[in-house]
Structure 1
Amino acid sequence: MLFAMTTDGDVLLRLAGEIDDLGARLARVGTELRTVQSGAEPTREEASEQAPQEQPAAPQQPRPEQPQPQQQQPQPQVPQQPYPQHAHYQQATYAQAQARAQAQQQWQQYQQQYRQHYQQPHQHPHPPQQPYRPYQPVPKVTLAEKLSKEGAGSRLLAWVGGAVTLLGIVLFLVLAIQRGWFGPLPRVIGGAVLGLTLAGLGLRLHRTPAGRTGAFALAATGIGTLYLDAIAATTMYEYLPAYAGLAIGLLIAVGGLLLAVRWKSSLLATAVVLGCVVCAPLITQGFTPELVAFLLVVQVASTPVQLRQSWPSVAVAAGIPPLVASVFSTAFTGLGGSTANTAAALAAGAVGVTLALIVTIKRPGDAAALALLAVAPAPSLLAALFLPKTQAVLVTAAVALVLLGVWAAGQWLNGWTGDLAGAAGLLAALQTTMTLFDGSARSAILIGEGVLLALVALWTKKHVALFGGLGFAVIGGIIALAFDVPPTLFFLIRNRPDADLAAALLVAVAILAVSITLPWVAHRLGLFKAASENVVPWLFAGVCALYGAGALVLCASLLAVPGRSGFLVGHVVITVSWTVAALVLLIRGISVVGLRVIGLVLVGAAVLKLVLFDLAALDGLARVAAFLLAGLVLLGAGTRYAKLVASR
């Protein structure tokens, strides 16, 4: 009994010590949580308070004195077991505290570095994000608003004054020539001095920002005066040969354009070019080949500016006037043309094409250069219309070869350059064919070129060739319908020479070939869908093919059997061939709706031809043969078609 009580008391003492130890642990955990929350390390006082609690020991309570029994029995000694887990816990807690303190120190250093790096705007690696703003269209500026801006009135007055001054100089020169004032040499020297003076004043005014508006106008007026003086000295007074005048004009234009580039003024460059363009015809007293040559000099002089600066206004102002001047020169020359005018037209076209290619290679898609490339061949083609046949063919053929060569090299060109050159080259080739050939050969050659272009389109995958082939075929077909294989060929019996019939036979073969080739190539290139999905173009092509096939059969019959007999035999063969073609289309179109529709339409056309034409136009055995053969073919076609439909 006494032994049991002693044992229970020891157990209670150990339990009390563990409870005290647990309370000390909870106190330390609370202190650590407060330290983490406040972001500061525990002070020395807190550490000193925690130190005695690091190794709590069970309280040594005095044992109550036990009454000595009469017979003393040995009491079991309960050894006091140490608590090794408590020492390990202390070490782990201390390591964790050190780790937290080190992490907190690193975090404070990181915050300090972040503030130093991102609070300075010039060191920010990314621009600050702008707030979202809805898109608002830019309001258009009206002419009144432009004129109301500060400085607009002064610029307008300066440029208007320069234009009026230049026009006054021109009028003065014309009046001096008419009334004989001064002499030719004083006029030339005075014009040169006036031009240099105006340009010098412009250079002087440009030094101050306030005078730059007037500087632009004065410089443009002075350069225009110098250019007019050079033209007058060359073409009117003949003080200079043509090549010397061209050289001086080139130097003046280059100087004015270089000044515009230095001042970075596209308006000045455009004014320099337009001043020469407008005033030159007044001095030359009309549109002549010499005027075209002078304008080409201006165009060549503007090329470096076009390559360095993207100024479309300069390109248009320099490129279009030579072409227009050449067209007017050709119109004033009249029929028969002239060698000088033809040379000027060819030079204008060649220079325009060359400069357009140079600009488009440097800047693909330049609208001004592409426009110049498209219209550059026009003066040469127009001049060829007034020349004799041989000279005209040489001119148009040369233009076509050059442009088609550029088109063939289109794989090295970007954008629409190659296609525009190809379209212009095909137009020149069309004019060459129309000029060189006449009669039945013209339509046959045109339609044959259409077939050839369709095959070229299939090989090169270029749609321009296909559309060109369509244009050639349409023009050739219209000529053929008017002269070679007219509709009257199928209704009227008349004697035609064998040569005409042979030519008509070739034209009919060409019509049949182009009617098959064009839609097939268009389908291969993806421009046409299958006949089951797009019936209209295929039906039109089928009608053209039937027309060509009918003309082919009829011309062959007339060549084999001249006169009425050949005419009747030809129509019988045409009717039977239509029914056979309808049979083929129906059999091939078992699973294709479009082919079945075309076949049934062809059957209806054959029946209508039998009833409306063959019954009235044919007689005797020809009528009987047409009806019997067509009927037998239709019966066979119907039976075969019914079996094919039933077997599906």
Structure 2
Amino acid sequence: MSDRIGAAAERGLIGKILATAGVGVTLIGVALLLVLAAQAGILRPEFRVAGGAVLATALVAGGMWLRGRTDGRIGAIALTATGIATGYLDVLAATKIYEWLPIVPGLGVAGLVAAGGLVLAHRWRSEHLGLLVVVPLIVLAPVLTGGLDTTLIAFMVVLCAASAWVQLGRDWIWLHAVRLAAPTIPLTLVGLSGVVGWGAPGDSDPVFATAVVVVVVLAVGGALLAMPTTAFPEAMAGLASATTIPALFAGSAMHLPGAVILQASIALALIGTVLIGSALSGTRARFVPDTVAQIWSATALLLLFVAVLETFDGTVAVAVLLGLATVTGLVARTWSTTSRVLLAGSSVIWAIGFAALLHAAPPYVLADADLIGRDANLEIVVASLFAAVGALVLAAGWVRLTDEALSRAAHIAAGMVVVYALTVISVTAGVLIGGPDGFLAGHVLATTCWMVLAGAALAYARRRSGAARTAAVTGGLVLVAAAIAKLFLFDLATLDGIFRVIVFIVTGLILLGLGAWYARALQENPSEPDSVTAA
């Protein structure tokens, strides 16, 4: 144990521990001077505050003197941090205990104390001192304001902006995180208070929106400026994304139109930043590396997702979600920088949208004329169209990035979705156009679409080889079997009159055509694999 203690002393650890303990004990003494002395009536208030100011000045001066001595860095930082914290306590006493200063001037004086401390931290190249200056001020500000209000938010935003210069020439990621957390945390609490019912949208809309925008701009702008030299690009990007958290709760802190505009504007700004930065990434500076582009793209997609949920509801929201997923998947196919993140995000959104579509138009509703007649609307048709297109786009995107087994699974899943989506479109559109007769016509069209898709799968198989060919043939034949099963188990019992005749004739003719075409194709290519020939 004594050897370890000796080694710790050599590393300076013992000095840091003693200095930290000294900071704590001294601050307790200052608190006793300012608070308990007031309760006991010891000294006049003027002497207490003046004594605190003199002690704060003396501690800072002692730290500056000690900084110039050999091996005095640890002690200098401890003394200076203690002096600055003492200054904070003095401002607290003058503002809250004796009420000599209004809240805003009190915050201004505390900010001036912090500014002096940050100047010393920058000159001494000490992130530790910078943290000891900023963190106590963040804790002090709510005490001065008496809680979470507009004054506190404004002060935190000003603190974040006014302390940005400290990062110049310094790669201080922890201080950067604390600076951004100062306004982000109270803004998030404002949003959460609305979620749990402690607040409601009101006259603070402009203040909240302006504060969120300013903080996001400071975070993204600071990250872009630091990107060429920082050793923590992912952390800088993640912190910038974290400042958008209050915007996610804007719907509970603002009126709905303003909240949606705020979310969409930030999302579009992030997308534009990534686009411009990626275009410049070929230069030596690399303003937006790939990982940063992925983080900000995912953040933008999340903001758009929340904006859609807050703007729309019902089947309209389902259609818009599936449309957003489809568009994002198309962008991912042409944008290799963030393809995996965008594909993953769009896949999640598509899955949520498709689950909602299944809830709005489940299979049992499609089989009941009364239920589908009650629930049918144009939004379901549009959502089904986006579901089919999105499934194909996302499957094609994942095929480029995954192995053969996952590619086959993606194609099979996309095929099943397309079949179901076309069924929903056929039946729902039929009901919307023709009512009860349209329901029957829709099922005729659905069965026909199944057969056409089966033929398309078999034709696709003719141009492929290996596993892709086998999968396409298998899928086509399964779909033929499903169409025949639907024909005899559902259509024969449900359809009547001319519709029953039409569906049997059309399905039979398609089967005849497929059989004749495939037999001729086998004769033209006698080297067909055994599995396909047997099929």
TM class by shorter chain equals 0.7 to 0.9
**Distance in 1 (alpha carbons) for counterparts of 2:307 and 2:295:** 18
Q: Deviations over 1:312-333 (max 9, x none)?
A: 2222232223322322344456
2:385 maps to 509
**Distance in 2 (alpha carbons) for counterparts of 1:277 and 1:372:** 18
Q: Deviations over 1:78-103 (max 9, x none)?
A: xxxxxxxxxxxxxxxxxxxxxxxxxx
Question: Offset at 1:431?
Answer: 1.7
Q: Secondary structure at the match of 2:200?
A: coil
Give the stretch that moved more between structures: 170-179 or 595-604: 170-179
Question: Offset at 1:552?
Answer: 0.9
**Which amino acid is the alignment partner of residue 205 of structure 1?**
L
Q: Deviations over 1:414-460 (max 9, x none)?
A: 31333322222222222222222223222222222222223333444
Structural mapping, 1:151-166, within 5 Å: 151-166=12-27
Q: Which residue, out of 428, 439, 443, partners 2:303?
A: 428
**Which amino acid is the alignment partner of residue 101 of structure 2?**
Y
Q: Deviations over 1:551-600 (max 9, x none)?
A: 1111121123212x322222222112211221222133124213222212
Q: Which residue, out of 255, 271, 280, partners 1:388?
A: 255
| Cα distance change on mapping 1:303 and 1:576 into 2, 3 Å | same
CA RMSD of aligned residues (A): 3.4
1:580 maps to 452
Please tell me whether residue 199 in structure 1 is matched to residue 60 in structure 2.
yes
| Cα distance change on mapping 1:486 and 1:522 into 2, 3 Å | same
**Distance in 2 (alpha carbons) for counterparts of 1:611 and 1:178:** 92
1:315 maps to 176
**Distance in 1 (alpha carbons) for counterparts of 2:147 and 2:33:** 18
**Distance in 1 (alpha carbons) for counterparts of 2:32 and 2:258:** 41
Question: Offset at 1:229?
Answer: 4.2
Greater relative contact order, per chain length (Cα 8 Å cut-off, separation 6+): 2
Q: Which residue, out of 213, 234, 239, partners 2:101?
A: 239
Question: Offset at 1:410?
Answer: 2.4
Give the stretch that moved more between structures: 487-496 or 213-222: 487-496
Structural mapping, 1:546-585, within 5 Å: 546-563=419-436, 565-585=437-457
1:353 maps to 220
2:288 maps to 414
**Distance in 2 (alpha carbons) for counterparts of 1:591 and 1:143:** 73
Q: Secondary structure at the match of 1:335?
A: coil
Q: TM-score, normalised by structure 1?
A: 0.69
Higher helix share: 2
**Distance in 2 (alpha carbons) for counterparts of 1:493 and 1:178:** 81
Question: 2:457–2:472: 8 Å Cα contact kept in structure 1?
Answer: yes
| Cα distance change on mapping 1:589 and 1:497 into 2, 3 Å | closer
Question: Offset at 1:536?
Answer: 0.7
Question: Offset at 1:227?
Answer: 3.8
**Distance in 1 (alpha carbons) for counterparts of 2:144 and 2:266:** 32
**Distance in 1 (alpha carbons) for counterparts of 2:383 and 2:38:** 63
Question: 1:228–1:276: 8 Å Cα contact kept in structure 2?
Answer: no
Question: Offset at 1:550?
Answer: 0.8
| Cα distance change on mapping 1:534 and 1:521 into 2, 3 Å | closer
| Cα distance change on mapping 1:259 and 1:409 into 2, 3 Å | same
2:319 maps to 444
Question: Offset at 1:230?
Answer: 4.5
1:487 maps to 363
| Cα distance change on mapping 1:561 and 1:275 into 2, 3 Å | same
**Distance in 2 (alpha carbons) for counterparts of 1:460 and 1:279:** 47
Question: Offset at 1:645?
Answer: 1.1
**Distance in 1 (alpha carbons) for counterparts of 2:258 and 2:47:** 44
**Which amino acid is the alignment partner of residue 429 of structure 2?**
A
| Cα distance change on mapping 1:456 and 1:213 into 2, 3 Å | closer
**Distance in 2 (alpha carbons) for counterparts of 1:184 and 1:387:** 43
Structural mapping, 1:247-326, within 5 Å: 248-326=109-187
1:44 maps to none
Question: 1:557–1:569: 8 Å Cα contact kept in structure 2?
Answer: yes
Please tell me whether residue 336 in structure 1 is matched to residue 213 in structure 2.
no
Please tell me whether residue 609 in structure 1 is matched to residue 486 in structure 2.
yes
**Which amino acid is the alignment partner of residue 209 of structure 1?**
T
Q: Which residue, out of 367, 390, 394, partners 1:518?
A: 394
Give the stretch that moved more between structures: 331-340 or 511-520: 331-340
**Distance in 2 (alpha carbons) for counterparts of 1:300 and 1:577:** 61
Unaligned runs of 5+ in 2: 281-286, 526-535
Question: 1:302–1:314: 8 Å Cα contact kept in structure 2?
Answer: no
| Cα distance change on mapping 1:328 and 1:191 into 2, 3 Å | farther
Question: Offset at 1:245?
Answer: 5.3
Question: 2:444–2:502: 8 Å Cα contact kept in structure 1?
Answer: yes
Question: 2:216–2:243: 8 Å Cα contact kept in structure 1?
Answer: yes
Give the stretch that moved more between structures: 539-548 or 486-495: 486-495
Based on CA coordinates, which of the two structures has the bigger radius of gyration?
1
**Distance in 1 (alpha carbons) for counterparts of 2:39 and 2:364:** 66
Q: Which residue, out of 414, 418, 434, partners 1:545?
A: 418
Structural mapping, 1:6-25, within 5 Å: none
**Distance in 2 (alpha carbons) for counterparts of 1:162 and 1:213:** 12
1:643 maps to 520
Question: 1:289–1:344: 8 Å Cα contact kept in structure 2?
Answer: no
**Which amino acid is the alignment partner of residue 510 of structure 2?**
V
Give the stretch that moved more between structures: 513-522 or 226-235: 226-235
| Cα distance change on mapping 1:500 and 1:263 into 2, 3 Å | same
| Cα distance change on mapping 1:409 and 1:241 into 2, 3 Å | farther
Q: Deviations over 1:227-278 (max 9, x none)?
A: 4544665688473573x55654444333212322333333222222222233
Unaligned runs of 5+ in 1: 1-141
Give the stretch that moved more between structures: 573-582 or 395-404: 395-404
Question: Offset at 1:549?
Answer: 0.9
| Cα distance change on mapping 1:343 and 1:238 into 2, 3 Å | farther
2:401 maps to 527
Please tell me whether residue 476 in structure 1 is matched to residue 327 in structure 2.
no
**Which amino acid is the alignment partner of residue 516 of structure 1?**
L
Question: 2:381–2:425: 8 Å Cα contact kept in structure 1?
Answer: yes
| Cα distance change on mapping 1:164 and 1:368 into 2, 3 Å | farther
**Which amino acid is the alignment partner of residue 166 of structure 1?**
L
1:457 maps to 332
| Cα distance change on mapping 1:611 and 1:553 into 2, 3 Å | same
Q: Deviations over 1:77-133 (max 9, x none)?
A: xxxxxxxxxxxxxxxxxxxxxxxxxxxxxxxxxxxxxxxxxxxxxxxxxxxxxxxxx
**Distance in 2 (alpha carbons) for counterparts of 1:143 and 1:420:** 43
Q: TM-score, normalised by structure 2?
A: 0.82
**Distance in 2 (alpha carbons) for counterparts of 1:180 and 1:384:** 50
Q: Secondary structure at the match of 1:568?
A: helix
2:271 maps to 404
2:528 maps to none
Structural mapping, 1:181-220, within 5 Å: 189-209=50-70, 211-220=72-81
